[in-house]
């Protein structure tokens, strides 16, 4: 039943919105990391959204899933420092977008070439690019169990969450 619903979900681009970048983006990322209450609210509100991706992709190990959850919450906290009751992203639409983007991969395509297009589609390309940098840094950390061959998957998953959440009113300024 859910599969039928997912196939019919509109995958239109998010509305245009002010871009977060540079010092403003960094300030917001720092704030969400330090604000336990905001982090917890986002984790609760985004639970279904993130679980939909986790349920869909059993190829990711626990470290990779944790990295995706953490980086997504940081990114969306920067976009939505105020999480109102109307903040209700659609997990099925996000998962449908993710599935579509993963299926569009071309054999031999360089990850850098592919993800730049994903960043633009999120309507918050600097947020997505910063999230990708954080994931890449996590994967290089000593003891990390994030496999390099899964990085594109993780980045696409985080971009899917940013893309979906960009459909909701962004509280900027």
In a domain, 171, yes or no: no
With contact defined as beta carbons under 8 Å apart, do 33 and 25 qualify?
no
In a domain, 101, yes or no: yes
What tokens does 167 get?
């459909």
pLDDT tens readout for residues 25-72: 999 999 989 989 888 888 888 888 888 888 878 889 999 999 999 999
Q: Which residue range(s) make up the domain with 109?
A: 20-165
The total of other beta-carbon atoms located within 10 Å of residue 106's CB is: 8
pLDDT tens readout for residues 83-135: 777 778 889 999 999 999 999 888 887 877 888 889 999 999 999 999 999 99
In a domain, 119, yes or no: yes
With contact defined as beta carbons under 8 Å apart, do 63 and 145 qualify?
yes
The C-alpha atoms of residue 60 and residue 49 are separated, in whole angstroms, by 16
Average pLDDT over residues 153-157: 94
Residue 146 has pLDDT above 50, yes or no: yes
The C-alpha atoms of residue 117 and residue 14 are separated, in whole angstroms, by 15
Instruction: Please name the residues in contact with 44: beta carbons below 8 A apart, sequence gap of 6 or more.
Output: none
pTM: predicted TM-score of the whole model, two decimal places: 0.88
Number of structural domains (the chain) is: 1
In a domain, 5, yes or no: no
């Amino acid at each position: 039943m859910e599969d039928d619903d997912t196939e019919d979900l509109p995958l239109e681009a998010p509305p245009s919105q002010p871009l977060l970048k540079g010092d403003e983006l960094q300030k917001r990322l720092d704030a969400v990391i330090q604000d336990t209450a905001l982090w917890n609210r986002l984790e609760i509100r985004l639970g279904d959204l993130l679980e939909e991706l986790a349920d869909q992709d059993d190829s990711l190990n626990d470290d990779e899933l944790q990295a995706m959850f953490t980086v997504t919450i940081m990114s969306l906290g920067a976009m939505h420092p105020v999480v109102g009751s109307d903040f209700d992203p659609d997990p099925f639409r996000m998962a449908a977008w993710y599935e579509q983007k993963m299926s569009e991969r071309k054999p031999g395509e360089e990850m850098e070439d592919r993800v730049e297009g994903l960043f633009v589609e999120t309507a918050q390309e600097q947020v997505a690019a910063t999230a990708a940098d954080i994931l890449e840094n996590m994967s290089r950390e000593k003891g990390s169990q994030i496999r390099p061959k899964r990085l594109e998957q993780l980045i696409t998953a985080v971009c899917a969450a940013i893309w979906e959440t960009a459909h909701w009113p962004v509280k900027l300024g």
